Amino acid sequence: LKPYIPQRVYVEGSVAEGENTMIPNTNPRKTDSFRRWSNLVALLWIGVFISFFCLGAIAYADTYNASIDDRSISEAEGKVTFTISLDKAVLGGEWIEIKYKTGDDSAKEPGDYIEIDPEQIIRFDPGDQIKTFDVTVNDDITVENSEQFYAQISAGDKCPACSTTLSKDKGYATINNDD
C-alpha cells in the first residue's frame, strides 16, 4: 500500500489578482482510497461473473445417461435394430453424440453378421431421447445353435455444458437359428 499523499490543485487568481494558491482536492473520486475501493468492487464483479457464468456452467451441467438394449431375432429377419436411449430428452441448445461399433461373441463376422467398425456416430439433438441403428444379419442354411454378437456404445462429443454417462454400454443380439 502506498501512503496517502493529499493532492493539491493550483487555482489562479483566488486570493488576489495574479496570485496562485494551493487548495486541497476535495473531489472524492480522485482520492487514492476511492480508487482502491472502486478497484475492489470491480474485482468482486469479475469474480461474480466468472463464478456464475463460467463455473456455473460446469457445476450445473446437464448429464445424460445413455444405454443400449439387448435384442433377439430370427436369422431370416435379415437385420437387428439396436436402440440407444437417454434417460431424458436433450434440452434446447444442447446436443450429444454416442459412438457405436459391433464385435464378435459366439456369432462371427462376416459369416453371421456384418460388422460395424470403425465406430459410427449417432447425434442426439434437442428433443431427441431415442435413436436406433441396424446391423445386417446373414441368413444361412446351416443348422446351428443360437449365436450372439454385441454392439458397444461410448460417449462421443457433446455440448460444452453437457456430460454423458453410460448405464449399459453393451447390447447383445441373439441370432436364433431358423433352419
| Segment 7-54, tens digit of pLDDT | 555 555 555 555 555 555 555 555 566 666 666 676 776 765 555 555
Q: Which long-range contacts (CB under 8 A, 24 or more apart) does 25-33 make?
A: 31/4, 31/7, 32/2, 32/4, 32/5, 33/4
Spatial distance between the Cα atoms of 148 and 156, rounded to a whole number of angstroms: 25
Contact status, residue 154 vs residue 169, Cβ threshold 8 Å: yes
User: What pLDDT does 124 receive?
Assistant: 96
User: What pLDDT does 80 receive?
Assistant: 96
Spatial distance between the Cα atoms of 151 and 103, rounded to a whole number of angstroms: 6
Q: Which residues of the chain have pLDDT under 50?
A: 55-60
One-letter amino acid for residue 134 of the chain:
D
